[in-house]
A and B are shown apart, each in its own frame.
Chain A
Amino acid sequence: MEEKEFIAQLLDPRTQNQAFQKLMAQYQRPLYSHIRAMVIDHDDADDVLQNTFVKVFQHLKGFKGESKLFSWMYRIATNEAITLLNQRAKRGRITSEELYNKKVDNLKADQYFDGNEIQLKLQNAIATLPDKQRLVFNMKYFEEIKYEDMSEILGTSVGALKASYHHAVKKIEDYMNKN
Chain B
Amino acid sequence: MKPFKLDEHQIDPGFRIPEGYFDAFQQQVSTKIAKPKVIPLYRKPWFYATAAAVVVGLGITYFNAVATPTVSTSVAIENYLAAQPLTQDLLVELLETEDLDQLQAEHQFDQEVLEETLSHTNIENLIY
Chain A positions within 8 Å of B, measured between CB atoms, are: 17, 21, 24-25, 28-29, 32-33, 36-37, 42, 46, 49-50, 53-54, 57-58, 107, 111-116, 118-120, 122-123, 141-142, 169, 172-173, 176-177
Contacts and interface: CB of A to CB of B under 8 A. Distances in A.
Interface of B: 3-6, 9, 11-18, 21-22, 25-26, 28-30, 32-33
A28 B26 contact: yes
Contacts of B4: 173, 176-177
Nearest to B35: A54
Chain A interface mostly: helix
B29 A123 contact: no
Given A173-B6, A176-B4, A42 B18 contact: yes
Contact of A54 (B5, B12, B26, B29): B29
B36 to A, nearest CB: 12
Contacts of A54: 29, 32-33
Closest 4 CB pairs of A and B: A115-B14, A119-B14, A176-B4, A112-B16
22 contacts: A24-B29, A25-B26, A28-B22, A28-B25, A28-B26, A37-B15, A42-B16, A53-B33, A54-B32, A54-B33, A57-B29, A57-B33, A111-B16, A112-B16, A113-B16, A118-B11, A119-B13, A122-B11, A122-B13, A123-B13, A142-B12, A173-B3
Given A24-B26, A28-B25, A123 B3 contact: no
